[in-house]
Amino acid sequence: MRKKIAGALASVLIAFAPAHSYVHAAGNTYITQQVSFIDIHNDYWAGSAILDLAKTNVISGYEDNTFKPENPVTREEFASLVAKTFYLDLPESGAKATYYDVSPDRWSFPYIEASREFLTGYYPPSGKAFFSPTLDATREDVAVTLVKTLGYTPDDLRNPRILENTFRDVNSISPNLKTYVALAVEKQLFSGYPDQTFKGDKQVTRAEVATLLYKIIKNASADGHAPIQLNVNVPETTSNGTFYVSGETSPGATVTINNREVSVVQGQFKEGLKINQGEGDYTVTVTARLPGGKSKTVTKVIQYEKGGPELTVNDIPEETDKQYVTVSWSVRDENDSRTVVYVNNEAQRDYSNQKKVELTEGTNTIVVKATNSLGKSTTVTKTIVFNTGGPVLKVNDIPDTTDKASVNVSWSVTDKNDSKPKVYINDEAQSEWSSSKTISLSEGANTIVFKATNSLGKSTTVTKTITLSTGGPVLKVNDIPDSTDKTSVMVSWSVTDKNDSRPIVYINDEAQSEWSSSKTIALNEGINTIVFRATNSLGKSTTVTKKISLGTGAPVLKVNPLPASTDSSTLNVSWTVTDKNDDSVRLFLNEKEYSKWQSSATLTLEPGENVLVFKAVNANGKETVVSKTVTFNPPAPKLTAGYMPSRTTSSSLTVTWTLSDKNDNSPKLYVNDEFQSTWNSSKTVSLVKGANTVTLLAVNKYGKQTTVTNTVYKD
E strands along 211-279, which residues? 230-233, 237-238, 242-249, 254-257, 260-262, 268-274
DSSP per-residue letters across 345-406? TEEPPTT--EEEEE--SEEEEEEEEEE-TTS-EEEEEEEEEE-----EEEE----SEESSSE
* CB-CB contact of 131 with 75 (8 Å): yes
* CB-CB contact of 299 with 329 (8 Å): no
145-174: string of b/e by CB count within 10 Å (b at 16+)? bbbbbbbbeeebbeeeeebeebbebbebbb
Which residues are within 8 A (CB) of 416 and not within 5 positions of it... i.e. 6 or more apart? none
Instruction: Please state the pTM of the whole predicted model.
Output: 0.33
* Intrachain domains 392-468 and 556-632 with the same fold: yes
- Does residue 13 register a pLDDT over 70? no
Bridge partners for 237 per DSSP: 303
| Best CA proximity match to 683, nearest among 648, 652, 637, 659 | 652
Looking at residue 678, what DSSP letter applies? T
Burial class (CB in 10 A: 0-12, 13-18, 19+), 595: exposed
The pLDDT assigned to 220 comes to 54
If you average pLDDT over residues 641-656, what whole number do you get? 93
Q: How confident is the model at residue 208 (pLDDT cuts 50, 70, 90)?
A: confident
d(CA 564, CA 576): 20
Q: Between residues 20 and 503, which one has the greater pLDDT?
A: 503
The pLDDT assigned to 447 comes to 93
Q: How confident is the model at residue 190 (pLDDT cuts 50, 70, 90)?
A: confident
- Does residue 10 register a pLDDT over 90? no
d(CA 350, CA 370): 11
The pLDDT assigned to 472 comes to 82
Q: Tell how far CA 547 is from the center of its chain.
A: 40
d(CA 118, CA 303): 42
Please, what is the Cα angle at 651 between 649 and 657, to 5 degrees? 100
The runs of H, that is alpha helices, within 200-347 are 206-223
- For residue range 598-648, list pLDDT tens digits in order: 999 999 999 999 999 999 998 878 899 999 999 999 999 999 999 999 999
Looking at residue 170, what DSSP letter applies? G
If you average pLDDT over residues 313-330, what whole number do you get? 83
The pLDDT assigned to 4 comes to 36
d(CA 379, CA 369): 4
| Best CA proximity match to 17, nearest among 58, 51, 60 | 60
d(CA 462, CA 178): 78
Looking at residue 171, what DSSP letter applies? G
Reported CATH class of domain 556-632: mainly beta
High-pLDDT (> 70) share of the chain, % = 91
CA of 52: how far to CAs of 9, 60, 214, 656, in Å? 13, 11, 8, 73
CA atoms within 13 A on the CB side of 83: 20
The pLDDT assigned to 236 comes to 83
Angle between helices 2-10 and 75-85 (to 10 degrees): 120
Number of CB atoms found within 10 A of residue 554's CB: 17
The pLDDT assigned to 651 comes to 93
The pLDDT assigned to 134 comes to 92
The pLDDT assigned to 417 comes to 67
Query: In this structure, what is the dihedral angle of CA atoms 634, 636, 637, 639, given to the nearest 10 degrees?
Result: -160
d(CA 370, CA 357): 17
The two beta strands, 295-304 and 362-371, are unpaired
- Does residue 504 register a pLDDT over 50? yes
**Helices and strands of the chain, counted as H and E runs:** 8, 50
Which residues are within 8 A (CB) of 200 and not within 5 positions of it... i.e. 6 or more apart? 138, 139, 140, 143, 169, 172, 173, 174, 177, 181
The pLDDT assigned to 377 comes to 82
Q: How confident is the model at residue 26 (pLDDT cuts 50, 70, 90)?
A: very low
484-502: string of b/e by CB count within 10 Å (b at 16+)? beeeebebebebebeebee
- What CATH number does the domain located at 310-386 have? 2.60.40.10
- Does residue 15 register a pLDDT over 70? no
The pLDDT assigned to 491 comes to 94
Q: Per this entry, what is the length of the chain?
A: 715
- Furthest C-alpha separation in the chain: 154
Question: Looking at the domain 638-714, which fold is it?
Answer: Immunoglobulin-like (2.60.40)
- For residue range 267-298, list pLDDT tens digits in order: 889 988 888 877 788 888 999 887 555 788 88
High-pLDDT (> 90) share of the chain, % = 37
* CB-CB contact of 273 with 243 (8 Å): yes
The pLDDT assigned to 21 comes to 31
Lowest mean pLDDT among 190-199, 276-285, 597-606, 654-663: 276-285
The pLDDT assigned to 291 comes to 56
Question: Looking at the domain 392-468, which fold is it?
Answer: Immunoglobulin-like (2.60.40)
- Does residue 192 register a pLDDT over 80? yes
3-state secondary structure string, 629-676? EEEECCCCCEEEECCCCCEECCCEEEEEEEEECCCCCCCEEEECCEEE
If you average pLDDT over residues 13-25, what whole number do you get? 33
Pick the CATH number of 474-550 from 2.30.30.60, 3.90.550.10, 2.40.50.140, 2.60.40.10: 2.60.40.10
If you average pLDDT over residues 352-356, what whole number do you get? 87
In the three-class reduction of DSSP (H, G, I as helix; E, B as strand; rest coil), residue 222 is classed as helix
The pLDDT assigned to 389 comes to 72
CA of 104: how far to CAs of 15, 79, 114, 123, in Å? 19, 15, 12, 19
The pLDDT assigned to 226 comes to 58
Lowest mean pLDDT among 72-81, 460-469, 472-481: 72-81
Q: Where are the domains of the chain?
A: 2-223, 230-304, 310-386, 392-468, 474-550, 556-632, 638-714
- What CATH number does the domain located at 230-304 have? 2.60.40.10
d(CA 431, CA 337): 66
Which residues are within 8 A (CB) of 79 and not within 5 positions of it... i.e. 6 or more apart? 108, 111, 112, 115, 119, 133
The two beta strands, 340-343 and 682-686, are unpaired
The two beta strands, 392-395 and 406-414, are antiparallel
Q: Tell how far CA 276 is from the center of its chain.
A: 45
- For residue range 675-710, list pLDDT tens digits in order: 999 888 999 999 999 999 999 999 999 999 999 999
* CB-CB contact of 601 with 532 (8 Å): no
If you average pLDDT over residues 664-679, what whole number do you get? 92
Question: What φ, ψ does residue 222 adopt, rounded to 5°?
Answer: -80, -40
Q: How confident is the model at residue 547 (pLDDT cuts 50, 70, 90)?
A: very high
Q: Between residues 373 and 633, which one has the greater pLDDT?
A: 633
d(CA 553, CA 537): 45
Which residues are within 8 A (CB) of 234 and not within 5 positions of it... i.e. 6 or more apart? 243, 245, 284, 300, 302
Q: Between residues 149 and 4, which one has the greater pLDDT?
A: 149
Q: How confident is the model at residue 81 (pLDDT cuts 50, 70, 90)?
A: confident
The runs of H, that is alpha helices, within 89-150 are 109-114, 139-149
Q: Between residues 105 and 361, which one has the greater pLDDT?
A: 105
